[in-house]
């Protein structure tokens, strides 16, 4: 059931499309223009209770055009790839630019900053996988999980494999494109029944199929993660240290990155406005990005402005060393772009790591948080309050599962109260980190 997808052909087709859009924009009176175009194709299968539940073939495409008329800007986009539609999109973008107000900061990034070297970052590893084989893998995954005693029900296992091509071009003459793949397998199981019911899941994701965890590993881990939650109690209200499991710690890194992103800063909607150079973390903690890492989940040689990406250090020995800026947000702040249009890429922490068991001993009594719910963050003040579930730690050891409580504090204080980073590094996302031990948070339970 697989559809033919020739990535190289799609890439040259999109590059041609982007060039056409630039030419059209110039012809129709735009002073500058940038174009993003993408196409992706994927297969997704779902199984549940040993049966196929869904088979989905997807193919999405889109083209987005931004034009500048003087210092005025207009955007238009469409999922329609026809010639007529391309013309309509460019015309609409120009029509909008006639109405928007002048913006001194508007415009392309400086031509001198465009990426000139576009190395192959080893991101494209298609998986020759037909529907039957995909279903088979998902079935093996769910089966392995359901075989664990105590698993009573399942929301199933799903496997997806996507291939994507993206192109960015602008009227400086920059044209960059990249192809990439992403394969994922996940499983969500249920244990217990009635009011005692609990769910949890696990997943694996990679650019290369051979880098995925085995289906059985994912299923068994999903089962174990679900079973260990049974008979959770509510912890008592009070001030305790909190050990954020790697997936949760990744969220804290995300909160940090959002707070040093140019858009949040010039809108004054970050608690880290005007804090460049300030000490945020302990001295032993540094954090940066490595956008050109080969095979990285977020690797890219150019950012969303066509600017060459580079290694950035955001936190240097505890201090806020750099903001995360695009060409536009940099102009708004009177600074220079850091090549972060589109965000941070392949974020890594530089800090001594501690064995998880030792981190738990260091904590003594407190809570290990393995799941959080809700939005619960005020980015303007850093005030933090989120629903959580996890495990009560007593004298450095797991005592029992806990749920239905909140962990609250203020990000500024939480960052400063970081006591250690675990060696249990989770490499499944663009941000790699181990657990974080944070002192002095408020738990609200019973």
Partner 1 sequence: MTDMSESALKQASSLLLAPGGLDQASLDAGLGHAMGAGIDYADLFFQRTWHEMWVLEDGEVKDASYSIDGGVGVRALSGEKTGFAYSSQISADALAETGRTASGIARSGSRQAPQAVQAVAASARYAGIDPLSGLSAEDKIAMLKQADRVARAADPAVSQVSASLTGVHEVVLVCASDGTLAADIRPLVRLNVNVIVARDGRRERGSAGGGGRYAMSRLRDAGVATSYAREAVRQALVNLDAVAAPAGQMPVVLGSGWPGILLHEAVGHGLEGDFNRKGSSAFAGRLGEQVASRGVTVVDDATLADCRGSLTIDDEGTPGQYTPLIEDGILTGYMQDKLNARLMGMQPTGNARRESYAHVTMPRMTNTCMLAGNDDPEEIVKSVKRGLYAVSFGGGQVDITSGRFVFSASEAYLIEDGRITAPVKGATLIGNGPEAMSRVSMIGNDMALDTGIGVCGKEGQGVPVGVGQPTLKLDELTVGGTAS
Which residues in the 74-103 window bind partner 1 by CB under 8 A? Answer: 74-81, 85, 88-89, 92-93, 96, 99-103
Distance in angstroms (rounded) separating the CA atoms of residues 141 and 137: 6
Rounded alpha-carbon distances, angstroms, from residue 215 to 153, 187, 220? 18, 9, 9
Q: How far is the CB of 263 from partner 1 (least distance, A)?
A: 10
87, 267, 310, 428: residue in contact with partner 1 (rule CB under 8 A): 267
Q: How far is the CB of 189 from partner 1 (least distance, A)?
A: 10
Q: How far is the CB of 193 from partner 1 (least distance, A)?
A: 8
Q: Quick one: 125 or 386, whose CB is closer to partner 1? A: 386
Burial class (CB in 10 A: 0-12, 13-18, 19+), 231: exposed
Distance in angstroms (rounded) separating the CA atoms of residues 402 and 335: 46
> How many CA atoms are closer than 13 Å to the CA of 19, on its beta-carbon side?
11
403, 418, 420, 422: residue in contact with partner 1 (rule CB under 8 A): 403
Tokens describing residue 231: 């008979």
Check binding of 131 to partner 1 (CB under 8 A).
Answer: yes
Check binding of 55 to partner 1 (CB under 8 A).
Answer: yes
Footprint of partner 1 on 345-384 (CB under 8 A)? 373-376, 378, 380-381, 383
Check binding of 409 to partner 1 (CB under 8 A).
Answer: yes
Q: How far is the CB of 64 from partner 1 (least distance, A)?
A: 8
> How many CA atoms are closer than 13 Å to the CA of 74, on its beta-carbon side?
20
Distance in angstroms (rounded) separating the CA atoms of residues 222 and 155: 11
Footprint of partner 1 on 135-174 (CB under 8 A)? 153, 155
Burial class (CB in 10 A: 0-12, 13-18, 19+), 423: middle
Q: Quick one: 171 or 406, whose CB is closer to partner 1? A: 406
Q: How far is the CB of 197 from partner 1 (least distance, A)?
A: 5
Binding mask 293-332 for partner 1 (x = CB under 8 A): ----------------------------------------
- What are φ and ψ of residue 48, in 5° steps? -150, 135
């Amino acid at each position: 059931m697989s559809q033919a997808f020739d990535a190289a052909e799609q890439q040259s087709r999109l590059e041609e499309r982007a060039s056409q859009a630039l030419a059209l924009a110039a012809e129709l009176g735009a002073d500058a223009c940038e174009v993003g175009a993408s196409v992706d194709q994927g297969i997704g299968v779902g199984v549940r209770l040993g049966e196929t539940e869904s088979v989905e073939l997807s193919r999405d495409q889109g083209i987005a055009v931004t034009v500048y008329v003087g210092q005025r800007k207009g955007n238009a986009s469409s999922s329609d790839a026809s010639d007529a539609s391309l013309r309509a999109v460019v015309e609409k973008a120009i029509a909008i630019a006639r109405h928007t107000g002048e913006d001194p900061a508007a415009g392309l990034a400086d031509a001198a900053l465009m990426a000139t070297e576009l190395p192959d970052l080893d991101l494209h590893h298609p998986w020759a996988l037909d529907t039957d084989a995909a279903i088979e893998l998902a079935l093996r995954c769910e089966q392995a999980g359901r075989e664990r005693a105590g698993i009573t029900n399942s929301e199933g296992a799903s496997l997806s494999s996507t291939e994507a091509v993206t192109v960015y071009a602008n009227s400086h003459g920059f044209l960059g494109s990249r192809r990439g793949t992403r394969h994922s397998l996940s499983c969500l199981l249920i244990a217990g029944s009635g009011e005692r019911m609990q769910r949890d899941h696990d997943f694996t994701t990679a650019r290369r199929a051979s880098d995925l965890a085995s289906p059985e590993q994912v299923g068994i881990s999903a089962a174990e993660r679900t079973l260990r939650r049974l008979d959770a109690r509510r912890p008592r209200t009070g001030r305790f240290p909190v050990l954020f499991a790697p997936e949760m710690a990744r969220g804290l890194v995300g909160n940090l990155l959002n707070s040093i992103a140019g858009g949040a800063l010039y809108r004054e909607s970050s608690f880290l406005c005007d804090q460049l150079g300030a000490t945020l973390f302990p001295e032993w903690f540094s954090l940066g990005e490595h956008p050109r890492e080969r095979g990285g989940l977020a690797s890219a040689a150019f950012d969303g402005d066509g600017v060459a990406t580079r290694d950035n250090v955001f936190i240097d020995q505890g201090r806020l060393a750099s903001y995360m800026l695009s060409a536009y947000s940099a102009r708004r702040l009177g600074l220079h772009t850091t090549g972060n249009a589109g965000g941070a890429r392949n974020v890594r922490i530089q800090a001594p790591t501690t064995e998880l068991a030792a981190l738990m001993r260091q904590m003594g009594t407190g809570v290990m948080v393995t799941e959080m719910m809700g939005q619960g963050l005020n980015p303007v003040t850093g005030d933090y309050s989120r629903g959580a579930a996890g495990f009560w730690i007593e004298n450095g050891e797991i005592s029992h599962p806990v749920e239905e409580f909140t962990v609250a504090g203020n990000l500024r204080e939480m960052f400063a109260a970081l006591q250690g980073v675990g060696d249990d590094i989770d490499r499944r996302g663009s941000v790699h980190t181990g657990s974080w031990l944070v002192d002095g948070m408020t738990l609200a339970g019973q």
